[in-house]
Amino acid sequence: MIAVHMETHQLHLHPLKKHKLKVTKSRKALLQVLETSPQLLSADDIFEKVNKHVASDRATIYRTLHTFESLGIIDQVQLNDGLLRYEIAHEHGHHHHVVCTGCGVVEHISDAPTEKALHNMSKKLKQFSVITEHTLELFGICKKCVPKHKV
């Protein structure tokens, strides 16, 4: 148990020290919030959750998010509501999300056949010769939320 705790602790501090960022309460809390969230969080979601632990300011949250994002500690995701959402950066590179419209829980996906189909399709385009990136997000109802919809 102690080992597990220490390991988790290391994970929090590591990204900060690695990038020569100062370890502050606000930054630790923000990382903690993102690391433990099963959902993608907006800046305001993060602001509220962080403030349950430590007093912080929206400006600080926004600045911290920018800093972390440009250093690759976290990733931005644009869903269909116009708000930027954030998640801890995945080491495993390219992936997409399935988002529950009931509770917001997120499942990560990385599907070779889909990527291959996209690649094939891109070769058939009339006006384009180079595709540099793509966004793909799925929306559905997770197994825990299905019962609620049946009621």
Partner DNA sequence: CTCTGTGCAAAATATTTGCAGGCTC
Partner DNA sequence: GAGCCTGCAAATATTTTGCACAGAG
From 9, 66, 108, 148, residue interacting with DNA (rule: CB under 7 A): 66
- 15 is an interface residue for DNA by CB under 7 A: no
If one asks whether residue 56 binds DNA (CB under 7 A), the answer comes out as yes
**Count of CB atoms within 10 A of residue 64's CB?**
23
Residue at token pair 């148990």: 1
Euclidean distance between CA atoms 87 and 76, whole angstroms? 7
Site string for its own copies, 56-95 (x = CB under 8 A): ----------------------xxxxxxx-----------
**Phi first, then psi: what are they for 96, rounded to 5°?**
-130, 180
Candidate list 141, 148, 150, 151; residue touching its own copies; CB under 8 A:
141
> Binds 88, which of its own copies, DNA, none (CB < 5 to 8 A, cut-off by type)?
none
Query: Distance (Å, rounded) from C-alpha 50 to C-alpha 24?
Result: 12
Please, which residue, 21 or 83, has the CB nearer to its own copies?
A: 83
Query: What 3-state DSSP class applies to 97?
Result: strand
| Cα(3)–Cα(112) distance, integer angstroms | 36
120 binds its own copies (CB under 8 A): yes
What is the DSSP secondary structure assignment for residue 39, as one 8-state letter? B
Residues near DNA, by CB under 7 A: 16-17, 21-27, 42-44, 54-60, 62-64, 66-67, 82-84
